[in-house]
Structure 1
Amino acid sequence: MENSRPKDLAALVYNKLKLNKTIKVLPAVETLELFFDILFYLSMCKEESDLIKVTVTFIDPNNPDPNPPRKIVPERWSSIAFTKPIMMNTKSLAKLSKAADPTSSSLAVYFDEKGDLFVWGLIDQAMHYQDFLNYESDTHSEQPGLFQVAVSDIGTLHVLFDYELLATLKQNLLVKRYLDVLTIGPIAKILRGNATFLKAEIKAYVEKMHPDENFTDWEEFLDNLWIQTFSRLLLKIQNYQHGGAILITSPSKDLDVKYEIHYDRLTMAMIAHAKSSIANYLSEEAIQQEISGGKRSIHKKLYQQECISFYDKKGTSDEIKGAISFIASQSCVDGVVLFDTKMVANGFGAVLRAKKMPKKIYVSATATATAKSLVSHEPRHYGTRHRSMIAYCYNHPSALGVVISQDGEIRAFAKIDEKLIMWENIKTQQYRRNATQKSIHKTSPL
C-alpha cells in the first residue's frame, strides 16, 4: 500500500487486537495512532550521532505475564520495572534506546486510563528471540506483551505479534505480505536443485553408516538446511547496511572477478552438520527406545555415540555460522559475491559485464510468479547494481541473482520462460503464526 502513514499501521494493529477476545482493555485507535507516530518520528532521530534502533513491547505493567507456561525455561524473558514510569515521547525513547540494544532487550510501553503512553521498564533475554528469527536457534518460546514493534531504519517500523510479522511500514509504503520465495516457487526450485550435491553425499552416508534408515525421510531436513543457510547469509549481509549482491552461476566471459578464491568450507560444514545431526537423532532415538522398553541402563557405546554426535552437531553448527560470517563480510567490497551451484564461494568484488538488457522486466506479486501476478517494469528505472544483475541473469538463464540494497531491501532475479522476473519484499527470517516450543526433529537443520 503506497502513500501510507503511521495511522494506517495503527488501524491494522487495532483490527488485529480486536480479534483477541482475551484482551480486557483494548487501546483506543487514537492511542495506537499516537504510539506509531512517536515511533515513526523516533526513527528519524539520532542519539550520539547514531541512528536509533530499538524494539518496543506493548505490555501491561499490572499484568505483564497473564498466561505463563507450565514449565518456565531458564532463558525465558522477564520484565524489569522502573521505579517511576517515564512519559513516552521521541526524546525519552531516544535516550532509553542506548540502554536497549534490540538484540538483547526491548522497552516496555503501555497506556493509562487517559490514553497517555508511558515507558515503564525493560524486557530481557531478547537475544533468544532474535536467534530464532535469524535461524541461529531451533527453539523458541512465547513472546511478552500484546505485540512488539522494531524500529530498524529511517521511517521503518516492523510490527510483530509473537512470531508473526503483521506488517512493515517503510517510509510511505505499508507492506503486509512478504514473499516466501526461498521455500515456494521458481527460486525455491532452483535452490533445491542446487542441494542435489548435498543430498547425494548424505544418501551415500546413510546407506553406508545407517543402512536401516530410509534416506527419503531426511530429504526435507536437507532442503531446509540448504535454504536456511542461504537465508542466514542474506540476513548477515543485510545487517551490514552496506548493500551487496550474490550471484549463483557457472563461469562465463561476462564475469570479471577482482578477488578470485575457492572457499568450500560452507558446503563441507553443511555436509558434516547433516551427518552429525542424523547420527545424534538416531542415537537419541535408540536410547529412548531402550528406556521405553523398560531397561534400567543403556549400553556404554550407545551413550558415547550420543555424546560424540551431540558435540559434533554443535561444532559443525558453529562452523556454518563462522563460514557465513566470513563470506558475508566480502559483500562489503564493491561488486558481486560469486557462488557455484554447490554453494562454493568462487570470488568477490566481481563486475558483471553482460550488456544486453531486456526491454521489460516483470515484478512478481507472488512467490510462484504466476502470469496474473506479473507486472511489467522498465529496467532503466533501477540503479546500476540492479541493472547489471538484470542484464546478467537475462543473458544467463541458469543464473540466480540477489541484490541487497543499503536500506536492507532484498530482491531476487531469475529468467523464467523467457521473462526476467524480479521478486521483492522477500521473507528471510523465520516468522511463523503458531509459536509453541518444539524439540529438535528430522525437519530441523540446527
Structure 2
Amino acid sequence: MQNKLKLKKAKSTLPNLKVLEDLFECLFYSSMCKEESELITVTITFIDPENPDPAPPGHIVPERWSCISFDHHIEMTTKALAKLSKAADPGSSSLAVYYNDNGEIYIWGMIDQAMHYQNFLNYESDTGSEQPGLFQVSISEIGTLNVLFDYELLATLKQNVLVKRYLDVLTIGPISKILRKNAEFLKLTLREYIEQVYPEESYADWEDFLDGLWIQTFSRLLLKIQNYQHGGAILITDDNADLDVKYRIHYERLTLAMVSHARASIDNYVAERIIEEDLVRGKRSVSRALYLKEAGSFYDKKGTADEIKGAISFIASQTCVDGVVLFNSSMISNGFGGVLRAKKMPRKIYVSSTATATPKSLAPHDPKHYGTRHRSMIAYCWNHPSALGLVISQDGDIRAFSKIEDKLIMWENIKTQQYMTGKSQRKRKS
C-alpha cells in the first residue's frame, strides 16, 4: 500500500504505516456494525483538507466532484462511521478523511458527485473525471473492503482473504472467445448494414466496437444481478437437454436493442465526420438533411442505450426467482427458474488463477466441496461441453464454468466493473 502511494502520489505528504493500520482496522470493524438494523456500506476518501485539489485540470467539467467541509472535525470511530454512513450513500458521495500531527484519523467533510464515478465503473457512462484524494476505500459487505486509486482496484479484503487481482475473463481467454462467438448475430447484421448503407466504411474498423458492446452489456447484466444481493445463475446454451425451465419466455429485446444501438452509433459517427470534414474544407453551412441525420442518430443512440439498460434490468430481476436464467448463444432469453437435471459429475474440477486457463494456472478441486447451485452447474457444463454457466452468490462473488477439452474449468474473482490499471489510465488521459 505504501509503495503504491509513493509511486502514484510522490508529491503528496504520505501517511505512515501506523496511520494506515489504524484506518483499515477501523474500517474493517465498522463493516461488522449495523445502523438502524442495516449493515454499513460507505466509501471514504483519504484527502488533505488543507489542499484537497492540488492539481486541478485545465478544463473543469460541471459534474466534477467538490468537497463540503463540516463545521468541526469528527473523530473517526466505528460509531461515527455507522452514523454518517446513512447520509453518505456510496452511489452518491464519500466521506472525507485525514489525520493530524499525532496520527489521529478524523472525518472532516463529504465529497459529492460520486454517481458519475459509479456510472463509469458500471459501463453506464463513457467518461469519468479523476478521483479526489490519495485513495478511496469502500465497505461493501461484512468484512469486505475495496481499495481504489482513481479507477484502479488495488485490492479487496474479503474477511480473511486478500484478493489482489480480478480475472478479466470477459475480455481474454476461453470465456471471452465464447462470448465473442456468441456475438456473431450482431456482427453479421452490422456487416450487412455497413456494406449496404456505408460501402465506403470498413467493417473491420467497427468489429472491436461490436465486441466491446456485447461484452460490456454482459458485464452490466452481471453487475445488475450482483446488486440484487439475492444470488442467481445464468446458463448460455443451445442444448435443451437436462433442462426443466419453469417459466418459458422468448425475450430477444436485449439483442435487438444492441443491434439498433450499433446502427445508431455508426449513423451518428459518419454524420459527425462528414460535418467535420465539410467545416475543415471551409464550408460555412451544413445541409438540412445532414443536420437532421446527425441529430436524429444522436437521439436514436441515446434512446437505444436506454433500451439496453431497461432490457438488462428486466432480465436481471428474473434471477431473484430460484433457478437459472436461460440464454441461447445469441443472448436471447428463453426462460427463468430453470432446474439443471444433469447428474454425472467430474471427479475433479480445475480452478484457474488466470483468465487464459493455462495448464500451469490450474489447481484441482473436489466439486463436492461446493453448494447445490454450484454442483448442478458443474454437472450440466460437464455433460454439455458447449455450455457456459455463471453462478452469482448472495455476497456478489461470481464463478464461471466451462468444459475445456477434458477438464471442467472454474474461474472465480471475476472482473465485472470498468476498473483500469495505471497504464491504461495514462493512455486514456493522453
Give me the TM-score of the superposition, normalised by structure 1.
0.94
Whether 2:130 is the aligned partner of 1:142: answer yes
Asked if the contact 1:337–1:345 (Cα under 8 Å) also holds between the matched residues in 2, the reply is: yes
Once residues 97 and 371 of structure 1 are traced to their aligned partners in structure 2, the CA distance between those partners, rounded to angstroms, is: 45
Please name the residue that 1:262 is paired with.
Answer: 250
Which of 421, 425, 428 is the equivalent residue of 1:435? 425
Which of 143, 161, 166 is the equivalent residue of 1:155? 143
Please name the residue that 1:241 is paired with.
Answer: 229
Once residues 291 and 204 of structure 1 are traced to their aligned partners in structure 2, the CA distance between those partners, rounded to angstroms, is: 30
Q: Give the 5 Å matches for 1:52-67.
A: 52-67=40-55
The one-letter amino acid paired with 2:282 is G
Please name the residue that 1:400 is paired with.
Answer: 388
Whether 2:214 is the aligned partner of 1:226: answer yes
Unaligned runs of 5+ in 2: none
Once residues 430 and 174 of structure 1 are traced to their aligned partners in structure 2, the CA distance between those partners, rounded to angstroms, is: 20
Asked if the contact 1:140–1:435 (Cα under 8 Å) also holds between the matched residues in 2, the reply is: no
**Worse-matched range after superposition: 245-254 or 152-161:** 245-254
* Cα offsets for 1:3-26 (capped at 9, x unmatched): xxxxxxxxxx22211223533321
- Kindly tell me the number of residue pairs found equivalent between the two proteins: 427
SS in 2 for 1:258: strand
Please name the residue that 1:108 is paired with.
Answer: 96
In the TM superposition, residue 140 of structure 1 has moved relative to its aligned partner by: 1.3
Once residues 274 and 400 of structure 2 are traced to their aligned partners in structure 1, the CA distance between those partners, rounded to angstroms, is: 43
Which of 185, 199, 205 is the equivalent residue of 1:211? 199
Please name the residue that 1:193 is paired with.
Answer: 181
Q: Give the 5 Å matches for 1:173-184.
A: 173-184=161-172
Asked if the contact 1:57–1:106 (Cα under 8 Å) also holds between the matched residues in 2, the reply is: yes
Whether 2:403 is the aligned partner of 1:422: answer no
Once residues 404 and 21 of structure 1 are traced to their aligned partners in structure 2, the CA distance between those partners, rounded to angstroms, is: 36
* Cα offsets for 1:368-402 (capped at 9, x unmatched): 00000000000000000000000000000000000
Once residues 148 and 438 of structure 1 are traced to their aligned partners in structure 2, the CA distance between those partners, rounded to angstroms, is: 20
Q: Give the 5 Å matches for 1:37-56.
A: 37-56=25-44
Once residues 19 and 201 of structure 1 are traced to their aligned partners in structure 2, the CA distance between those partners, rounded to angstroms, is: 47
In the TM superposition, residue 160 of structure 1 has moved relative to its aligned partner by: 0.4
SS in 2 for 1:245: strand
Asked if the contact 2:9–2:134 (Cα under 8 Å) also holds between the matched residues in 1, the reply is: no
In the TM superposition, residue 301 of structure 1 has moved relative to its aligned partner by: 1.2
Once residues 241 and 304 of structure 2 are traced to their aligned partners in structure 1, the CA distance between those partners, rounded to angstroms, is: 36
Asked if the contact 2:40–2:85 (Cα under 8 Å) also holds between the matched residues in 1, the reply is: yes
Once residues 46 and 355 of structure 1 are traced to their aligned partners in structure 2, the CA distance between those partners, rounded to angstroms, is: 42
Query: How high is the sequence identity, in percent, across the aligned residues?
Result: 71
Once residues 14 and 93 of structure 2 are traced to their aligned partners in structure 1, the CA distance between those partners, rounded to angstroms, is: 25
* Distance verdict in 2 for CA 1:35–1:21, change over 3 Å: closer
Whether 2:19 is the aligned partner of 1:24: answer no
Whether 2:82 is the aligned partner of 1:94: answer yes
Once residues 92 and 389 of structure 1 are traced to their aligned partners in structure 2, the CA distance between those partners, rounded to angstroms, is: 43
Once residues 342 and 267 of structure 1 are traced to their aligned partners in structure 2, the CA distance between those partners, rounded to angstroms, is: 7
* Cα offsets for 1:291-326 (capped at 9, x unmatched): 111122111111111100000000000000000000
* Cα offsets for 1:213-261 (capped at 9, x unmatched): 1111100000000000000000000010100000000132300000000
Task: Give runs of ≥4 in structure 1 deviating > 4 Å.
Answer: 436-439
Please name the residue that 1:335 is paired with.
Answer: 323
The one-letter amino acid paired with 1:366 is T
The one-letter amino acid paired with 2:69 is A
Once residues 192 and 78 of structure 1 are traced to their aligned partners in structure 2, the CA distance between those partners, rounded to angstroms, is: 40
The one-letter amino acid paired with 1:315 is G
Once residues 3 and 410 of structure 2 are traced to their aligned partners in structure 1, the CA distance between those partners, rounded to angstroms, is: 32
Once residues 337 and 259 of structure 2 are traced to their aligned partners in structure 1, the CA distance between those partners, rounded to angstroms, is: 27
Please name the residue that 2:370 is paired with.
Answer: 382
Whether 2:262 is the aligned partner of 1:274: answer yes
Q: Give the 5 Å matches for 1:363-382.
A: 363-382=351-370
Q: Give the 5 Å matches for 1:62-77.
A: 62-77=50-65
Asked if the contact 1:380–1:387 (Cα under 8 Å) also holds between the matched residues in 2, the reply is: yes
Asked if the contact 1:109–1:121 (Cα under 8 Å) also holds between the matched residues in 2, the reply is: yes
Whether 2:149 is the aligned partner of 1:169: answer no
Give me the TM-score of the superposition, normalised by structure 2.
0.98
Asked if the contact 1:111–1:118 (Cα under 8 Å) also holds between the matched residues in 2, the reply is: yes
* Distance verdict in 2 for CA 1:51–1:197, change over 3 Å: same
Q: Give the 5 Å matches for 1:243-322.
A: 243-322=231-310
Once residues 252 and 347 of structure 1 are traced to their aligned partners in structure 2, the CA distance between those partners, rounded to angstroms, is: 12
SS in 2 for 1:251: coil
Q: Tell me how large the CA RMSD over aligned residues is.
A: 1.1
Asked if the contact 1:142–1:435 (Cα under 8 Å) also holds between the matched residues in 2, the reply is: no
Once residues 412 and 383 of structure 1 are traced to their aligned partners in structure 2, the CA distance between those partners, rounded to angstroms, is: 14
SS in 2 for 1:257: strand
Once residues 154 and 291 of structure 1 are traced to their aligned partners in structure 2, the CA distance between those partners, rounded to angstroms, is: 57
In the TM superposition, residue 438 of structure 1 has moved relative to its aligned partner by: 6.0
Once residues 118 and 45 of structure 2 are traced to their aligned partners in structure 1, the CA distance between those partners, rounded to angstroms, is: 14
* Cα offsets for 1:112-151 (capped at 9, x unmatched): 1111000000000000000000000011111000000110
Which one has more relative contact order, counting CA pairs under 8 Å at least 6 apart? 1
